[in-house]
């Protein structure tokens, strides 16, 4: 039982599949994926063996940040469908045993949201306090040194009122002021609206960033060698994000989630570089049930680096709390590119490890076919925040799902041009891989079936085992896992009397597992001693 007495959640040992809706399946031939397209793909997801789906933002938005600039928290983007379509999706998913999670964006709204339109009408407006406003500095410039995600000042001047407003992302994404009690009340109602409609929970965007320093103090310089998780534009986000008051928000939301039967899930985008800070978002079992582990995502693809993060994660999580493991999402390079340089052997090894670690596994659409990033030409890029980055920035990992090898990858009907280019589809598509026992897709399906049978409904025990250099060996529940992160054959002691699953197609062999090929991973059972 957890701290609130609800027992294991459905997400314990489960696999959640992230769908970037605009890129999943286009049902109406306009070049954009939509909710009806998701419904059409539910049988595939049930066949694959996932337990739930997380939908990228479905709420109305001007799409400056493709849904992460919300203009109405209680609706559905008209390009994606209707509220009735979303209700039908929840119903049809439920018929197949699948839960549906939505994306919730509580750190900021769109500048087109009615709250901000009213706030901008003047200092005395009813919603002025919903956002972070500040007077200019003595020199007339921004109130402090905070930077937004593009590297520009995180403040935009509003000439009508003579004040600046804060935006940690684009200027069209003004930050909400969580010091204002009305913002808390609004989001409590938003949660209840969707939970009442059968939504199983939320992935919470920028969960680490809700509160800002009340005194608006300057962010200090980031430590030397800082990376994505420890700084922004050379500054550590000590005051512009990562404030401790956010924990009270999640305690309130957890109480709302637990008031439903079954309890709803809160999965946080906890973009922090310190595992202790990530673990703190679980509170005492009374805050977020799941927190994304970015130190794991950005670790080197080596046995030592990954196993080290896993060991530290399990050591710092509060007792009984559930880890979550993922390696790709809509904001970063796909792991078959970032970790594996397109090598399917390495991609299958990554999948094997991700699916056998204790807790929840989040699979990004296309990971199951080892889909790689697509180099989006400059003239076809859609993401304003990263369009100037090499290879297309975030667009590279948001391209249409590869259903087949046709010019549109089977993503859209008729001759519509997909909203982003599909890239090379030969071999890495569902039609080519489904039914092929040597394919990554069939391996992933077998892996998820084994995971559900062995780990479903539980947070399995984990114990790292001694291994040769470059090999990560561990026991997960009743399974033994050995993963060779090297270019060499590796000898092993006999692991088990029989092999359950190997990343190497056609490698099933009787007798003990005594060696691993380069970049091969295996799952086996431990020897069981006979008793008199």
Alpha carbon 363 to its chain centroid, in Å, reads 8
Half-sphere exposure of 223 (CA within 13 A, CB side): 8
Strand partners, 324: 360
DSSP assignment string, 180-202: SHHHHHHHHHHHHHHHHTT--EE
From the list 143, 142, 149, 139, the residue with the least C-alpha distance to 171 is 149
Q: Are strands 163-166 and 155-158 parallel, antiparallel or unpaired?
A: antiparallel
Strand partners, 204: 104, 268
Q: Quote the CA–CA distance of 220 and 208 in Å, as a whole number.
A: 18
Strand partners, 100: 53
Please give the helix or strand (H or E) that residue 475 lies within, else none. Answer: strand 471-476
For tokens 């090379």, the residue is 424
Helix, strand, or coil (residue 268): strand
Q: Quote the CA–CA distance of 271 and 279 in Å, as a whole number.
A: 12
By the 8 A CB rule, do 159 and 179 touch? no
**CA distance to 39, 390, 441, per residue, from 438 (Å):** 28, 33, 9
By the 8 A CB rule, do 72 and 60 touch? yes
The residues assigned a catalytic role are 205, 269
Q: Which two tokens stand for residue 154?
A: 């995180």
Phi first, then psi, for residue 41 (nearest 5°) are -95, 5
DSSP 8-state secondary structure symbol assigned to residue 154: S
**CA distance to 331, 366, 370, per residue, from 294 (Å):** 12, 20, 20
Q: Quote the CA–CA distance of 172 and 111 in Å, as a whole number.
A: 5
């Amino acid at each position: 039982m957890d701290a609130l007495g609800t027992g294991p959640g459905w997400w314990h040992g489960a696999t959640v599949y992230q769908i970037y809706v605009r890129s999943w399946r286009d049902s109406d031939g306009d070049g954009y994926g939509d909710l009806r397209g998701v419904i059409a793909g539910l049988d595939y997801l049930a066949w694959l063996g996932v337990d739930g789906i997380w939908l990228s933002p479905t709420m109305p938005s001007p799409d400056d940040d493709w849904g992460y600039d919300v203009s109405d928290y209680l609706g559905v983007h008209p390009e994606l469908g209707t509220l009735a379509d979303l209700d039908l999706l929840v119903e049809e998913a439920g018929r197949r045993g699948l839960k549906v999670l939505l994306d919730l964006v509580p750190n900021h709204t769109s500048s087109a949201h009615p709250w901000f339109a009213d706030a901008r009408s003047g200092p005395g407006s009813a919603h002025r306090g919903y956002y972070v406003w500040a007077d200019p500095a003595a020199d007339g410039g921004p109130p402090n040194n905070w930077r937004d995600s593009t590297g520009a000042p995180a403040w935009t001047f509003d000439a009508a009122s003579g004040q600046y407003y804060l935006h940690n992302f684009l200027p069209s994404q003004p930050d909400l002021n969580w010091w204002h009690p009305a913002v808390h009340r609004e989001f409590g109602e938003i949660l209840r609206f969707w939970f009442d409609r059968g939504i199983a929970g939320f992935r919470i965007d920028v969960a680490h960033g809700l509160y800002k320093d009340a005194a608006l103090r300057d962010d200090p310089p980031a430590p030397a060698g800082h990376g994505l998780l420890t700084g922004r534009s050379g500054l550590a986000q000590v005051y512009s994000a990562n404030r401790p008051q956010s924990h009270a928000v999640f305690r309130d939301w957890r109480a709302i989630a637990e008031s439903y039967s079954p309890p709803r899930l809160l999965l946080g985008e906890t973009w922090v570089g310190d595992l202790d800070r990530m673990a703190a978002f679980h509170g005492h079992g009374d805050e977020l049930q799941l927190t994304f582990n970015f130190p794991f995502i950005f670790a080197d693809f080596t046995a030592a680096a990954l196993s080290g993060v896993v060991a530290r994660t399990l050591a710092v999580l509060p007792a009984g709390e559930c880890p979550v493991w993922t390696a790709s999402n809509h904001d970063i390079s796909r792991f078959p590119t970032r970790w594996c340089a397109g090598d399917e052997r390495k991609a299958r090894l990554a999948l094997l490890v991700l699916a056998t670690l204790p807790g929840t596994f989040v699979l990004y659409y296309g990971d199951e076919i080892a889909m790689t990033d697509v180099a989006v030409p400059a003239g076809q890029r859609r993401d304003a925040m990263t369009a100037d980055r090499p290879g297309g920035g975030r667009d590279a990992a948001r391209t249409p799902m590869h259903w087949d090898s046709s010019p549109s990858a089977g993503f859209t009907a008729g001759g519509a041009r997909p909203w982003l280019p599909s890239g090379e589809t030969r071999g890495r598509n569902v039609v080519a891989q489904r039914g092929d026992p040597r394919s990554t897709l069939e391996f992933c399906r077998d892996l998820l079936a084994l995971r559900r049978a062995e780990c479903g409904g539980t947070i399995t025990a984990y114990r790292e085992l001694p291994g040769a250099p470059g090999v990560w060996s561990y026991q997960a529940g009743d399974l033994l896992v050995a993963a060779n992160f090297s270019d060499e054959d590796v000898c092993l002691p006999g692991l088990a009397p029989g092999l359950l699953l190997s990343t190497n197609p056609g490698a099933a062999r009787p007798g003990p597992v005594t060696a691993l090929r380069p970049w091969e991973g295996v799952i086996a059972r431990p020897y069981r001693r006979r008793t008199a």
